[in-house]
Structure 1
Amino acid sequence: MINSLFICHGGPTLVVEKNEYTDFLKELGKKIKPKAIVIFTAHWESEITTISSIDEGYEMIYDFYGFPKELYSIKYGAKGSTEVALKLQTMLKTHEIESRLDTKRGLDHGAWDILYLMYPKADIPVVQVSVNPELPMDKQYKLGEAIRELGQEDILVIGSGSTVHNLATVDWNVSEPKQWAVEFDNWLVEKVENNDKEALFSYGSLAPYSKLAIPREEHIVPLFIAMGSGQGNLPKLLNRSYAYGTLSYICFQF
């Protein structure tokens, strides 16, 4: 049983690209058909964990600038689920984790970019959840642990972020990955596959090129939440590829 996934959502153009990674995401969506999806997106930050609680369809948020016009016309018509949102909030409360509900925010690029590829019919309810990058990584992991029973109810938890996310280093004309990005991911993949939580919690001081790979932590936070919610399952690397020199396309199953 798959409790959770960590998925690198890449750049906004991913949704209209045709490559190894987009093919992978499309095939992954065919293999995993949950009753509902809870997605923690790096593009929604808040101090208190905030949960989308709507039953109707989401408004679209195009939280990027300067990209081709076609990206701003993409629609993803997934509905929400107040039932799942309340279930999630109850689980967090049981573990003394504060949360609140949101009835207005739309679906951001960190969520719809990958869901559009995985589930193009938009026929699975989606509950979007914020992240707080100020929390230490062990606390992020515990947040994931608090909701791991969702997997027993066929509700898939997705952490949507990136292992290497430094937009200042992206080169749109380069296909081969930069060595430092590969070395950072090598360290990360090894620690995840060996379930070395203590090392991972201190990745900032232990992993090579960590500050270059992760200048701000909002994009790696979803990895730790996904790890926690998949606790007890053997981690599995499902995909690893790169684009534009430093954009990492890694996917873990927990």
Structure 2
Amino acid sequence: MVPSIFVCHGGPTLAIEDNQYTSFLKNLGKSIKPKAIVIFTAHFEEEITTISSVEGTYDMIYDFYGFPKELYSMKYPANGSPELASKLQGMLKNYNIESKFDTKRGLDHGAWVILHLMYPEADIPVVQISVNPYLSMERQYEIGEAINKLKEEDILVIGSGSTVHNLRTINWEAVRPEKWAEEFDNWLIDKIEKNDLELLFKYRELAPNAERAVPREEHLVPLFIAMGSGQEGKLPKLLHKSYEFGTLSYICFEF
């Protein structure tokens, strides 16, 4: 049985960097050996939950501008799994969650950057799923709950997003995290480790600096989905916490 995880995907340059966080992700991939991967990425937004049902190898989406040229030639030739996509649709339907298939969309950088670091051989089938940032956090959690039996088949659910994600606050010269960013993350971490869902669902009202840390919720949504898909009766575990550029948080949780 594999856990579910939440990872911060950072900027696309993470794919070619060598630092504490990339080393962590590489080691994490070595420690979790799934038969397939289901990844919810903050860069795939749809009103209706959309499941990639790609036959064969995914195309690449370079959904960023002004970065090093080598990033635009990177490939992550993972195969899709229409069979798993159909299974996911059935599981969501059991929770009255509407969904649809997409047979053409490639992997965006919220997916391939993380997968490239964790599973560089690209030999594990991948199904990419969209997020809807306008749903309540309770509903996001229910989307995770709907598919929480996947772990029993050694299918890894990954939520790929970020906790603090405000690009306007990035300081390229910073060597330490900003106090306000850490305050927000520490509140979130404390409530997650206690599995205090009641307070987590109200994070926007209760967490310090919430509006500043999360101007839009698309990057935080994968956290709640991953949380919902975790192992029942097991408390979440913080696996990693670090920062880059003052406010770009690299946090990973196991559920």
Determine the structure 2 residue equivalent to 1:248.
249
Instruction: Give the alignment of 1:189-204 within 5 angstroms.
Output: 189-204=189-204
Which amino acid in 2 is paired with 1:62? Answer: Y
Alignment of 1:36 onto 2:36: yes
Does the 8 Å contact 1:145/1:229 carry over to 2?
Answer: yes
Which amino acid in 2 is paired with 1:174? Answer: A
Which amino acid in 1 is paired with 2:155? Answer: I
Alignment of 1:15 onto 2:26: no
Alignment of 1:104 onto 2:104: yes
Determine the structure 1 residue equivalent to 2:143.
143
Alignment of 1:212 onto 2:212: yes
Q: 1:175 Cα deviation (Å)?
A: 2.2
Determine the structure 2 residue equivalent to 1:181.
181
Q: Is the deviation greater in 227-236 or in 35-44?
A: 227-236
Q: Name the Cα RMSD after superposition.
A: 0.7
CA offsets per residue over residues 197-244 of structure 1, 9 Å max, x none? 010001001000000000000000000000000041320000000001
CA distance in 2 between partners of 1:138 and 1:129 (Å): 18
CA distance in 2 between partners of 1:244 and 1:43 (Å): 21
Q: Under a length normalisation based on structure 1, what TM-score does the superposition of the two structures give?
A: 0.99
Gaps of 5+ in 1: none
Does the 8 Å contact 2:181/2:247 carry over to 1?
Answer: yes
CA distance in 1 between partners of 2:14 and 2:247 (Å): 14
SS in 1 for 2:134: coil
SS in 2 for 1:156: strand
SS in 2 for 1:104: coil
CA offsets per residue over residues 117-147 of structure 1, 9 Å max, x none? 0000000000000000000000000110000
Alignment of 1:127 onto 2:98: no
CA distance in 1 between partners of 2:5 and 2:231 (Å): 12
Q: Under a length normalisation based on structure 2, what TM-score does the superposition of the two structures give?
A: 0.98
SS in 1 for 2:172: coil
CA distance in 2 between partners of 1:206 and 1:11 (Å): 28
Does the 8 Å contact 1:2/1:230 carry over to 2?
Answer: no
SS in 2 for 1:77: coil
Which amino acid in 2 is paired with 1:239? Answer: H
SS in 1 for 2:181: helix
CA distance in 2 between partners of 1:201 and 1:231 (Å): 19
List 4+ stretches of structure 1 deviating above 6 A.
none
Alignment of 1:88 onto 2:88: yes
CA distance in 2 between partners of 1:205 and 1:55 (Å): 43
SS in 1 for 2:86: helix
Which amino acid in 1 is paired with 2:24? Answer: F
CA offsets per residue over residues 166-219 of structure 1, 9 Å max, x none? 000111221211000000000000000000001000100100000000000000
Which amino acid in 1 is paired with 2:111? Answer: A
CA distance in 2 between partners of 1:12 and 1:49 (Å): 24
Gaps of 5+ in 2: none
Does the 8 Å contact 1:59/1:106 carry over to 2?
Answer: yes
Does the 8 Å contact 2:39/2:126 carry over to 1?
Answer: yes
Does the 8 Å contact 1:3/1:150 carry over to 2?
Answer: no
Alignment of 1:52 onto 2:30: no
Alignment of 1:172 onto 2:172: yes
Instruction: Give the alignment of 1:151-162 within 5 angstroms.
Output: 151-162=151-162
CA distance in 2 between partners of 1:2 and 1:165 (Å): 28
